Amino acid sequence: MNKLDQLKQRSQVVADTGDIDAIRRYRPQDATTNPSLLFKAAQLPQYKGLIQESLEWATHHHSGANSSETARLAAIKLAVSIGSEILQLIPGVVSTEVDARLSFDTRATIDYARHLVALYEREGVARERVLIKVAATWEGIAAAEILEREGIHCNLTLLFCLSQAIACAEAGVTLISPFVGRILDWHLANGDRKAFSGEEDPGVLSVRNIYHYYKSRDYSTIVMGASFRNAEEIEALAGCDRLTISPQLLQSLEESEGLLVGGLPTVNEPLPRPEGRLCEAAFRYQLNSDAMATEKLAEGIRNFVKDQERLEMLLQSQVMGRRETDAATNP
């Protein structure tokens, strides 16, 4: 077997893409999307029909909205439409992200998540097949705890340190996406070393630490390694509950015929859970004490916001073009 097939025997493989053709090729169990991936997908010709449907929906259901608001609503509908298309090709779940501009607003995050789920249900997609992606800020984790009680399952993303992971587990979230490659990026940019092997990669070590913490204390929250820079990182985390992988690295693994020998060690010894929950003050202090986690969380939110705004600008230009055409046709 190639390494991708070997990996599928040890971990649930998830496609980190909004590209339906890639999902069709690699046949993952689940798929994840985010604003950056949706922005790329929206520029592919095969999504032209979905974009037009989303614009028509936003225009019809919110006829009084200005062009920027119409574009914002169309972006939400497009995310759900692409997610629904993906779900026709996979047996599992798709992750769809809450607007990163709401990362520090618990109530707005809850409302946005409910809106996404309602749109999916109108498409005939049960909420059990959707994970709502939320940034692992204190406010995002608080929102996810409330959503989970409503049967809306969450994927906490932009997760870079153990304190974020502990707060997520204590909140009872379904899944976390601890990042690997972005942690490596930070250490390469801010340390003396210019390379790390898979076994000593700081991103790999971070996910291993989180995985061991969860499994040794019997938390049910799923650990899904994310944001990989190379196949070596993936191999070093074989055995993790789930791994979300880009099409490029899926192809690299598929083309490799060697033996996949790395992976996570078995967790045997039971350990007691901490008494009481991690409070907000401790969470914020621990996050602030970790320069890497603080910087990468902030940077990740900024970049998702930027791509969300780029997607909306792309859609807004089409809204304005349609309105100009209508005005010329019906003076």
Report the distance separating Cα 147 and Cα 229, nearest Å. Answer: 32
> Tell me: the pLDDT tens digits for 18-35?
888 999 999 999 999 998
Residue 250 neighbours by CB distance under 10 Å: 24
Which among 133, 194, 296, 306 is annotated as catalytic?
133
The residues that bridge with 179 in the sheet, in sequence order, are 226
Q: How do strand 130-135 and strand 94-97 relate by DSSP bridges?
A: parallel
CB of 239 closer than 8 Å to CB of 233:
no
**Dihedral sign from CA coordinates of 186, 189, 191, 197:** positive
For residue 264, tell me if it sits in a domain. Answer: yes
Of 248, 241, 183, 182, which is closest to residue 214 (Cα–Cα)? 241
pLDDT at 241 over 70: yes
Of 146, 155, 164, which is closest to residue 297 (Cα–Cα)? 164
Q: Which CATH number belongs to the domain containing residue 251 in this structure?
A: 3.20.20.70
Q: What is the Cα Rg of the chain in Å?
A: 20
pLDDT of residue 42: 87
pLDDT of residue 328: 61
For residue 284, tell me if it sits in a domain. Answer: no
For residue 116, tell me if it sits in a domain. Answer: yes
pLDDT at 326 over 70: no
Q: What percent of the chain has pLDDT over 90?
A: 84
pLDDT of residue 65: 74
pLDDT of residue 137: 98
Q: What stretches of the chain show up as alpha helix (H) in DSSP?
A: 3-10, 20-26, 35-42, 48-61, 67-87, 106-122, 138-149, 162-171, 181-190, 202-216, 231-236, 247-254, 280-289, 291-329
> Tell me: the pLDDT tens digits for 253-303?
999 999 998 899 888 888 999 999 999 999 999 999 999 999 999 999 999
For residue 329, tell me if it sits in a domain. Answer: no
pTM above 0.85, yes or no: yes
Domain span at 66 = 3-272+291-321
- Length of the chain, in residues: 331
Q: Residue 295 is encoded by which pair of tokens?
A: 């910087």
For residue 201, tell me if it sits in a domain. Answer: yes
Q: How many domains does the chain have?
A: 1
Q: What percent of the chain has pLDDT over 70?
A: 96
For residue 277, tell me if it sits in a domain. Answer: no
First-to-last C-alpha distance (Å) of the chain: 65
> Tell me: the pLDDT tens digits for 146-165?
999 999 999 999 999 999 99
Amino acid letter, 193: R
Of 202, 200, 150, which is closest to residue 181 (Cα–Cα)? 202
Give catalytic status of residue 133 as yes or no. Answer: yes
User: Is 261 exposed, middle or buried (CB count within 10 Å of its CB: 0-12, 13-18, 19+)?
Assistant: exposed
Distances in whole angstroms, Cα of residue 38 to Cα of each of 57, 247, 316? 18, 15, 15
> Tell me: the pLDDT tens digits for 62-100?
777 788 999 999 999 999 999 999 999 999 999 999 999
Distances in whole angstroms, Cα of residue 120 to Cα of each of 19, 69, 95, 113, 222? 19, 20, 12, 11, 23
For residue 212, tell me if it sits in a domain. Answer: yes
